[in-house]
Structure 1
Amino acid sequence: MLHFLFPLLLLISNVGRSRSAIIQSLPGFPGDLPFKLETGYVGVGESEEVQLFYYFMESERSPKDDPLLLWLTGGPGCSALSGLLFEIGPLQFDYSNSSGITPMFKLNPYSWTKIANIIFLDAPVGTGFSYATTWAAYNSSDTSSAAQTYEFLRKWLMAHPKFLTNQLYITGDSYSGVVVPIIVKEIYDGNEAGREPPMNLKGYVLGNPVTCEVKDISQRIPYSHKMALISDELYESTKTSCNGDYMNVDPTNGACLTDLEMVSISYNYLYSYIWANDRNVQEALHIREGTKPEWRRCNYSLSYTKDVLNSVVYHRYLSKTSLRALIYSGDHDLAIPYVGTLDWIRSLNFTLIGSWSPWFVEGQVAGYSILYSENSKYDLTYTTIKGGGHTAPEYKPKECLAMADRWFSYYPL
């Protein structure tokens, strides 16, 4: 019995009040970090039994004037470190100078920290280095995670009051497409109710977003065929064997399962596992010893309930406000095809402000965008990232930084 109690006792002994540390250097990066990195825990929930871990980087341009972004990686259960290292953060793996046991870093010239302050948050609980001090507190859902993230942000801003006046955007990608709109509603309603501290909420950004998982995933097969990623023969075979339903598959339907396996894709993030599980790295990041047996880029064993099956209702609610939204999709994303995202945006029946048109980076077409408005207050920009996969910044970092820079500056793409 004692060996079952030991991990829990370790968690309890390591819980503490919210705390943070400034990180000057990291294993794998030569010399001091040329940007300000802070890591820490913020306790949320009853008795702060949930300890959410974060990485915060100040803008490399003007921390006082640039927007503050809260970034959530998808999953649910994918670590913020993944978004930091593989998408929009200032560090990336230097594969040419790394070995299997010694990952090395180089600076990312297209980091969004060039233009914004960013909090990368490990949420929901159990993600990355976030943990709970009771087993019951590991149970979470779309709505409870959103509420905990709102509480996190309130506490973080009270501890960092100099960022209260910065324009605030809630951002993320993939499965965050479900949770981010809920968080935005929590913040907006909290501001309306006079909850402290008041937040300078301006809008939200979603990349390659899940909205209604069943509909999004069901678009994969027709999209793959449309993009010539699968042959006419495989498309027709899959459509027939799966009876047109690619989400709710009968486990006894061997022909359908075989066809679906042939159109699936996978990714390799090996260096992140080696680096984040290194004891020296965890000491450098000020991870509380004994709180996580193993860091995983994506923890798919969460005790998590998907209690919001379609987040479009939240976009409709937010369209009655004066907020702004940016939705972007890699046009080669097979996980969440852009055609499904465009479908739900069109279903909102917003007023079309600008036509479907290309935008450019260094004279080359970087994607196609369209602008919608509602009640002359809320506006939504939708854009594709030409050649981008899942997620777009991993494949097209230069174009995604240009997109973000222009949109946060209120310029046309």
Structure 2
Amino acid sequence: MATPLTPNPAYKCMTKLFSHILLIVLFLTIVESQSIIESLPGYSGSLPFKLETGYIGVGDLDDVQLFYYFIESERSPKDDPLVLWLTGGPGCSAFSGLVFEIGFVILMSWMHTLRPPSIIKPGDDCPLSFDFDNSSRDSPTFKLNPFSWTKVANIIFVDAPVGTGFSYARSWEGYSITDTISAAQTYSFLRKWLLAHPAFHKNQLYVAGDSYSGILVPIIVQKISDGNEAGVKPAMNLQGYVLGNPTTTPHDDYNYRIPFAYMKALISQKQYESIKTNCKGEYINVDPNNTLCVNDLHTVTDCTQKIYSGQILEPTCSLTSPKPVGSKLDASLLGEDAIHLLSLTQVPELWCRSYNYIFSYIWANNETVQRALHIREGTIREWIRCNASLSYTDDVFSTLEYHRNLIKKGYRILIYSGDHDMVIPHISTYAWIESLNLTIATDWGPWFVDGQIAGYTMESYYKKSRLTYATVKGAGHTAPEYKPKECFAMVNRWFAYYPL
């Protein structure tokens, strides 16, 4: 019988040394891509917080380079949660979440030479302000957002999937992505980011996002959970996840648009009863030979096609963009059609939310801005706020089972819905949460901000897991964009383990 070979101690030592060298090389490669940004074009003076930008390579041979913005908590970086934020789409830049939803600044400007007062939408519902006296049409300016989530959390805003924002691939093959590939790459991104930022290893970790991120976030959370159980380093202090107006099962989400339209008086009771009977509750995969159902659906379309589905109380804009960019959820939602206003000599009097997005194009495509952000020259042709031209294939058609599984693992979950969103109606989200058959801890009731009802909430649990669901009264598809004060109060209380 052959005698088993005893490992050579010198060989073991060399192998261990080689592994350490590889980790060091990986760490140095990541570190080289980080830049601390102390000032930004459009903001006067030094930034009053720590902003970092960089790239992290993922995929085969780091072919895919994901760009990120990282803002340390303004309160206590070492104690506050670490949040990975994914903007929806897929294909909407992290910059959109940064300046229009939960980030540290508010993009301000309008066409100084045009500045019709009638386009201003007054009140606190809109997180953007227009500085007519201090801005010009070519120079958008910023002011600090008093309701930024970075006041209570460290947030990584990542341009994912590749082809989003400033992220790019070194080969054409790298741009071919799916839900599962994107989730795997984002998970790899987070692991490498934590390797380069060891100070945040112990912070409570949450993964968050809105809209189409409802597909990707639960998959990423599952990968983190599985990795922790398998002993993958670095271990992540995963606590849970946060989702706003999330896509969960697209077919069901879209199917709920019909009852939502009835609830909001966009169609009559007679029309609703007819379509329920004739379509038998199925409004997406309709038999074309069922003429009664088809005719009813045409009637619904006639009643709703001029409604802005992102927030049904706001005006809708005509699709007149020279570069129309759609969405998997709703072509009008992203509002890219307003970009044509840059070339107009007279601004329409009607205000549209999409006009707010114009200045992100001006700012992010400016060469001085890109140098300030340390964007790699020549890596993208043009920055687009929401890029629907991605080579992207849906291969996950429901994340409900991911939610079921993660509930069993003891995580905290916050789901919120703007209650005037017809893209992902709140009644759809409520329905799938109900289908989880959790135990009710606190039944449906109002929650308040400044003594006023900010929405309605309920809390459910399964053993150690807690799922909080909240509506945000008057908010649209990206709730913090419409109701920043209320959404900040909501997430601040939730991070602190307080009831809403």
- Per the normalisation by structure 2, the TM-score is 0.75
Are 1:145 and 2:159 an aligned pair? no
Aligned-pair CA distance for 1:207: 0.6
Distance 1:225 1:150, change over 3 A: same
Larger radius of gyration: 2
Are 1:63 and 2:77 an aligned pair? yes
Q: Percent identity?
A: 61
Aligned-partner Cα distance in 2 for 1:237–1:53: 49
Aligned length: 396
Aligned-partner Cα distance in 2 for 1:249–1:280: 52
The equivalent residue for 2:114 is none
Contact 1:237 1:259 in 2 (8 A): no
The equivalent residue for 1:262 is 306
Aligned-partner Cα distance in 2 for 1:208–1:187: 23
Give CA-to-partner distance per residue, 1:112-137, whole Å, 9 cap, x none. Answer: 01100000011111111111001111
Aligned-pair CA distance for 1:260: 5.2
More displaced stretch, 213-222 vs 327-336? 213-222
SS in 2 for 1:382: strand
Aligned-partner Cα distance in 2 for 1:307–1:226: 32
The equivalent residue for 1:176 is 213
1:232 is aligned, of 258, 268, 280, to: 268
Aligned-partner Cα distance in 1 for 2:142–2:270: 41
The equivalent residue for 1:189 is 226
SS in 1 for 2:61: helix
Give CA-to-partner distance per residue, 1:162-189, whole Å, 9 cap, x none. Answer: 0000000000000000100000000000
Are 1:351 and 2:451 an aligned pair? no
Aligned-partner Cα distance in 2 for 1:227–1:148: 40
Aligned-partner Cα distance in 2 for 1:130–1:324: 30
In structure 2, stretches of 5+ residues that fail to align are: 1-27, 110-129, 310-331, 336-353
Q: Which amino acid aligns with 1:392?
A: A
Are 1:336 and 2:424 an aligned pair? yes
Aligned-partner Cα distance in 1 for 2:250–2:380: 29
Contact 1:211 1:312 in 2 (8 A): yes
Give CA-to-partner distance per residue, 1:373-411, whole Å, 9 cap, x none. Answer: 11x111111111111111110111011111111100111
SS in 1 for 2:446: strand
Q: Which amino acid aligns with 2:104?
A: P
Distance 1:405 1:298, change over 3 A: same
The equivalent residue for 2:314 is none
Give CA-to-partner distance per residue, 1:296-325, whole Å, 9 cap, x none. Answer: 111101111111101001001101101110
Instruction: Tell me which stretches of 4 or more aligned residues in structure 1 moved more than 6 Å.
Output: 249-254
Aligned-pair CA distance for 1:100: 2.6
1:7-406 to 2 correspondences below 5 Å:
17-18=29-30, 19-95=33-109, 96-97=130-131, 98-228=135-265, 230-232=266-268, 239=275, 243=279, 246-248=283-285, 255=298, 261-265=305-309, 266=332, 267=335, 268=354, 269-374=357-462, 376-406=463-493
Contact 2:105 2:142 in 1 (8 A): yes
Aligned-partner Cα distance in 2 for 1:392–1:226: 20
Q: Which amino acid aligns with 2:362?
A: I
More displaced stretch, 330-339 vs 108-117? 330-339
In structure 1, stretches of 5+ residues that fail to align are: 1-15
Contact 1:222 1:235 in 2 (8 A): no
Aligned-pair CA distance for 1:48: 0.1
Q: Which amino acid aligns with 2:481?
A: E
The equivalent residue for 1:409 is 496
Aligned-partner Cα distance in 2 for 1:144–1:216: 23
Aligned-partner Cα distance in 1 for 2:75–2:361: 31
Aligned-pair CA distance for 1:222: 2.0
Give CA-to-partner distance per residue, 1:346-395, whole Å, 9 cap, x none. Answer: 00111111111111111111111111111x11111111111111111011
CA RMSD, 1 decimal: 2.3
The equivalent residue for 1:8 is none
Contact 1:90 1:111 in 2 (8 A): yes
SS in 2 for 1:190: helix
Aligned-partner Cα distance in 2 for 1:234–1:263: 20
Q: Which amino acid aligns with 1:149?
A: T
The equivalent residue for 2:3 is none
Aligned-partner Cα distance in 1 for 2:71–2:227: 26
SS in 1 for 2:445: strand
